[in-house]
A and B are shown apart, each in its own frame.
Chain A
Amino acid sequence: MNPFTYERASDAAAAIGLAKGSAAARYLGGGTNLVDLMRETVERPEMLVDVTGLPGRIEPRADGSLLIGAAATNTALAADAHVRTQYPLLSRAILAGASAQIRNMATVGGNILQRTRCRYFYDNAAACNKRQPGAGCDARDGFNRYHAILGASPACVATHPSDMCVALAALDATVHLDGPAGPRSIALADLHRLPGDRPDIETELQPGELITAVELPPLPFARRSTYRKVRDRASYAFALVSVAAALDLDKDGTVRDVRLALGGVAHKPWRASAAEAALKGRPAGPESFRAAAEAELAAATGLRDNAFKIELAKRTIVAVLGDLTGDEA
Chain B
Amino acid sequence: MSAQSDAAASRPGRWQPAVTQDPMLHKHGALGQPVSRIEGPLKVQGKARFAAEFPYEGLCYAALAFSTIARGKITALDTVAAEAAPGVVLVMTHRNAPRMKAPSLMMSSPTAAGASDLPVMQTDEIHWNGQPIAVVLAETQEQADHAASLVKADYAPLPATTSFEEARKTPRQLDNLLGQPPVVEIGDAEAALKGAAVQVDQIYRTPRHNHNAIELHAATVAWTGDELRVHDASQLLDLTAGQLADIFGLDAEKVRVSSPYVGGGFGGKCLWDHQILAGAAAKLAGRPVRIMLSREGVFRIVGGRTLTEQRVALGASADGKLDALIHTGIVAMTTHNSCPEQFTFPARHLYAAKTIRLAQEVADMDMLANTFMRAPGESVGTFALECAIDELASTLGLDPIELRRRIEPEKDPTSGKPFSARHLIDAYDRGAERFGWNRRSATPRQQRDGEWLIGMGCATATYPYHRFPGGAARIRLTADGRVTVSTAVHDMGMGTATAQAQHIAARLGVPLDHVTFEYGDTTLPRGVIAGGSTQTASIGGAVIAATEVFVEELLKLAGNDSPLAGLSLAEVETRDGGIGHRDDTARFESYESILRRAARDELVCEAEAPPPAEMEAFSMHSYGAQFCEVRVSEITGEVRVSRFLGSFDAGRILNAKTATSQFKGGIIMGIGLALTEETNFDPRSGRIVNASLADYHVPVQMDVPAIEILYTDIPDPQAPMGARGIGEIGITGVGAAVANAVYNATGKRIRDLPITLDKLM
Contacts and interface: CB of A to CB of B under 8 A. Distances in A.
Interface in A218-239: 230-237
Nearest to A120: B689
For A3, A123, A126, A312, which residue has the most chain B Cβ atoms within 10 angstroms? A123
Contacts of B584: none
B703 A235 contact: yes
A308 interface: yes
Given A230-B636, A231-B638, A312-B637, 19 more contacts: A1-B145, A2-B149, A39-B145, A119-B690, A125-B687, A138-B684, A142-B684, A143-B682, A143-B689, A143-B690, A234-B702, A234-B703, A235-B703, A237-B697, A308-B761, A315-B635, A316-B635, A316-B636, A319-B635
B86 interface: yes
B694 to A, nearest CB: 7
A237 B700 CA distance: 10
A233 B451 contact: no
B689 A123 contact: yes
Given A41-B149, A143-B680, A308-B758, A232 B675 contact: yes
B447 interface: no
A233 B695 contact: no
**4 cross-chain pairs, A with B, having the tightest CB-CB distances, nearest first:** A234-B702, A125-B68, A308-B758, A235-B702
Contacts of B695: 117, 119
B96 to A, nearest CB: 24
B701 interface: yes
A117 B694 CA distance: 9
A113 interface: no
11 contacts: A3-B86, A122-B692, A123-B691, A230-B757, A233-B699, A234-B702, A235-B701, A235-B702, A235-B703, A236-B700, A316-B636
A318 B761 CA distance: 15
Contacts of A138: 682, 684
Interface of A: 1-3, 39, 41, 117, 119-120, 122-123, 125-126, 138, 141-143, 230-237, 240, 308, 311-312, 315-316, 318-319
B394 interface: no
Contacts of B682: 138, 142-143
Contacts, number: 86
A236 B761 CA distance: 22
A139 B397 CA distance: 46
B636 A312 contact: yes
B756 interface: yes
Contacts of A142: 682, 684, 689
B571 interface: no
Contacts of A120: 689
Given A1-B142, A234-B640, A312-B761, A119 B689 contact: yes
A235 B700 contact: yes
Interface in B659-701: 675-676, 680, 682, 684-685, 687, 689-692, 694-695, 697, 699-701
A233 B697 contact: yes
A5 to B, nearest CB: 14
B64 to A, nearest CB: 14
B638 to A, nearest CB: 6
B715 to A, nearest CB: 40
Given A1-B142, A308-B758, A232 B68 contact: no
Interface string B693-723: 0110101111100000000000000000000
A9 to B, nearest CB: 24
B104 to A, nearest CB: 31
B146 interface: yes
Contacts of B690: 119, 143
Contacts of B68: 125
Nearest to A231: B638
A233 B149 contact: no
Main secondary structure of the interface of B (DSSP, over half): loop
Given A3-B146, A125-B68, A230 B638 contact: yes
Contacts of A143: 680, 682, 689-690
For A125, A230, A233, A312, which residue has the most chain B Cβ atoms within 10 angstroms? A233
For A3, A41, A232, A233, which residue has the most chain B Cβ atoms within 10 angstroms? A232
Given A117-B694, A125-B68, A315-B636, A232 B146 contact: no
Nearest to B690: A119
A123 B695 CA distance: 12
A92 to B, nearest CB: 15
A162 to B, nearest CB: 15
B682 to A, nearest CB: 6
Nearest to A238: B694
A4 to B, nearest CB: 11
A234 B671 CA distance: 12
Nearest to B682: A142
A117 to B, nearest CB: 7
Nearest to B86: A3
Contacts of A235: 700-703
Contact of A232 (B145, B676, B691, B694): B676
A290 B422 CA distance: 56
A239 to B, nearest CB: 11
A319 B451 contact: yes
A122 B68 CA distance: 14
Contacts of B640: 234
B557 to A, nearest CB: 60
B697 A232 contact: yes
B701 to A, nearest CB: 7
A4 B637 CA distance: 46
A138 B680 CA distance: 13
Contacts of B684: 138, 141-142
Contacts of A125: 68, 129, 685, 687
A2 B758 contact: no
Contacts of B754: 232
A2 B757 contact: no
Contact of B146 (A1, A117, A233, A319): A1
Contacts of B639: 232
Interface string B296-320: 0000000000000000000000000
Contacts of B638: 230-232
Contact of A311 (B129, B699, B761): B761
A233 B676 CA distance: 7
A255 B682 CA distance: 47
A101 to B, nearest CB: 12
A2 B675 contact: no
Nearest to A122: B692
Contacts of A311: 761
A308 B637 CA distance: 11
Contacts of B701: 235
A234 B636 CA distance: 13
A264 to B, nearest CB: 12
A318 B634 CA distance: 13
A234 B642 CA distance: 12
Contacts of B758: 308, 312
B299 to A, nearest CB: 11
Interface string B631-669: 000011111100000000000000000000000000000
B524 to A, nearest CB: 39
A240 B757 contact: yes
Contacts of B680: 119, 143
A3 B142 CA distance: 9
B214 to A, nearest CB: 15
A235 B640 CA distance: 11
For B146, B639, B682, which residue has the most chain A Cβ atoms within 10 angstroms? B682
B700 A232 contact: no
Contacts of A233: 675-676, 697, 699-700, 703
Contacts of B687: 123, 125-126
B718 to A, nearest CB: 42
A312 B758 CA distance: 8
Contact of A2 (B146, B637, B691): B146
Contacts of A2: 146, 149
B443 to A, nearest CB: 25
Nearest to B143: A3
